[in-house]
Structure formats: structure tokens, C-alpha cells
Amino acid sequence: MESAGLEPGTLNPYVVTTLQEDGIDISAKKTQGVFDLFKAGKTYRYVITVCSKEAADRCPIFPGRAERLYWPFPDPATFTGSDGEILAKVREVRDAIKERVQLFVQETLKIGANA
């Protein structure tokens, strides 16, 4: 599993914090662009984009034969408010993505078992 965006940027500290709360440490990770992965010859069975509905027209498209799935989630970079308010919103997104990934895995395993 890899993560990439249209343009590499910096890690969102609120995302780093909320993932650490869930036992996932991304603090040493570097951001990367989808075109870097493509130029490196990476191929995938599934490519899942998680752009917000507002940013869907700028969501990266990864070339190749991968099955493309679109799961719109709010962008934590756009959240405003106090640190506590932003963390609460990021936790909601983290939990929604986690739930969607778990459902995807269950569905994929079910399809694989019926094939």
C-alpha cells in the first residue's frame, strides 16, 4: 500500500497525531506524487482516490490497468478551528477511512472466495 498526491507537500501534523493514536506512525514518511510512482514503474491492482467532493476535478489519475475507486472524504488540510476542533474533525475522517478500508477488504475477500 502506498499513498501519493498530485503534488508532494508536507505531512499534516494533525493527521500524523491522529494516526499515531491508532498505532500508525507516519512521522518519518515523505510525501510523494503519483507521477513519481508512475515513472518508477509501479503498478497496482486497485487505485483508490480519496479527494474531497470539492476537489474531485483535481484528483490525480494514475495510468494503467488498475481498477479505480473513488472514495470522497473531506481534506484535513482545509479544516479550521482550535487544535482540539481540528483534531476531532481529522479523527472523524480517519475513522471513516478505516471503516471504508475494512469494508473494502471484506468485499474483496468475499469476491475472491466466490471466484
Reported as a pLDDT band with limits 50, 70 and 90, residue 43 is: confident
User: Which domain, by its residues, includes 64?
Assistant: 13-114
Rounded Cα distance between 61 and 5, Å, is 10
Q: If you average pLDDT over residues 18-27, what whole number do you get?
A: 96
Tell me whether residue 3 is in a domain: no
DSSP per-residue codes, 38-103 = HHTT---SEEEE---GGGGGG-----SSPEEEE-----GGG--S-HHHHHHHHHHHHHHHHHHHHH
Tell me whether residue 91 is in a domain: yes
Tell me whether residue 1 is in a domain: no
Rounded Cα distance between 45 and 36, Å, is 18
Domains in the chain, number:
1
Tell me whether residue 7 is in a domain: no
Tell me whether residue 87 is in a domain: yes
CA-only gyration radius of the chain, Å: 15
Tell me whether residue 109 is in a domain: yes
User: What is residue 47's predicted lDDT score, i.e. its pLDDT?
Assistant: 85
User: What is residue 112's predicted lDDT score, i.e. its pLDDT?
Assistant: 67
Tell me whether residue 77 is in a domain: yes
Cβ 52 vs Cβ 75: under 8 Å: yes
**What type of residue is 67?**
E
pLDDT tens digit sequence for 77-96: 999 999 999 999 999 999 99
- The CATH number that applies at residue 106 is 3.40.50.2300
Tell me whether residue 58 is in a domain: yes
